[in-house]
Amino acid sequence: MFHNKADGDQVRARVAGCSSGEEAYSLAMLLSEQCDALHSTANIQVFATDIDEGAVARARAGLYPESIITDVRPSALRQFFVKIDSRYEVVKSVREKILFAMHVLRDPPFSRLDLVSCRNLLIYLDSGVQNQVLEMFHYALYPNGYLCSSAAPNRRTRSKNCSAWSGSTGRKRRSCRTGRR
Ligand SMILES: C[S@@+](CC[C@H](N)C(=O)[O-])C[C@H]1O[C@@H](n2cnc3c(N)ncnc32)[C@H](O)[C@@H]1O
């Protein structure tokens, strides 16, 4: 994702159905680490959205209970969190990379994305809606962008190649890589 990015270009990611923010913060942290490892000068921008206003507010707060120490590796805990009383707050440098917003999945999408992450959401949608949403993600992604989603039950969305499900529309095909979590 960082290859072919010139000075100041953005690496743009979207987390759809971000709930209270853990997925978006994890992604921003991983992208930051990768950016540093590659000595990239790209800017990371994560768009994190959810239909639930309360969840978006919790995500924006970026405050998590002490129990996260069982899920977050110690190096990430040291680098990306500050302990405040009995809670851990995500550091400003990570929070600045994420724009949290209320957004319904089927609203007009964010565009020019390098990665879309949609974990534990498609599985709750029926196959017709899944396909509409996947098609939107597909066109929001740059060619060779990444789609990361949990397993979806229907045959078309299980395809490893997004072209397989977009191809039936008769519109221009793009490839994108998918990964399951
Ligand atoms: C099971 S949670 C997954 C949270 C996160 N992706 C994760 O894996 O930790 C599903 C989230 O999707 C949100 N959601 C459900 N339907 C949605 C829709 N139509 N548009 C946007 N968000 C939606 C819910 O509010 C909830 O926060």
pLDDT tens track for 148-173 = 987 654 545 443 444 333 322 223 33
- 87 with 6, same domain: the answer is yes
Query: Nearest C-alpha to atom 9 of ligand 1 is from which residue?
Result: 23
Q: How confident is the model at residue 177 (pLDDT cuts 50, 70, 90)?
A: low
Interval 22-46 mean pLDDT: 97
Give the tokens for residue 31. Answer: 């992208």
What is the C-alpha separation between 95 and 18, in angstroms, rounded? 14
Which atom from ligand 1 is nearest to the alpha carbon of 22? 9
Does residue 111 surpass a pLDDT of 90?
yes
Which atom from ligand 1 is nearest to the alpha carbon of 52? 25
Whole-model pTM over 0.75: yes
> What is the domain count for the chain?
2
Residues of the chain with pLDDT > 70: what percent? 83
How far apart are the CA of 14 and the centre of ligand 1, in A? 13
Instruction: Give the burial class of 5: count Cβ atoms within 10 A of its Cβ; 0-12 exposed, 13-18 middle, 19 or more buried.
Output: middle
Cβ(121) – ligand 1 distance below 6 Å: yes
Domain of residue 165: give its range: 126-181
What is the C-alpha separation between 16 and 133, in angstroms, rounded? 10
- 93 with 165, same domain: the answer is no
- 13 with 76, same domain: the answer is yes
Residue 38 lies in a domain: yes
Residue 116 lies in a domain: no
Read off the pLDDT of residues 38-82 as tens digits, 9 standing for 90 and up.
Answer: 999 999 999 999 999 999 999 999 999 999 999 999 999 999 999
What is the C-alpha separation between 172 and 107, in angstroms, rounded? 22
What is the C-alpha separation between 53 and 45, in angstroms, rounded? 21
- 83 with 15, same domain: the answer is yes
Interval 101-130 mean pLDDT: 91
Residue 84 lies in a domain: yes
- 28 with 81, same domain: the answer is yes
In the Cβ-directed half-sphere of 175, how many Cα atoms lie within 13 Å? 4
Which atom from ligand 1 is nearest to the alpha carbon of 103? 21
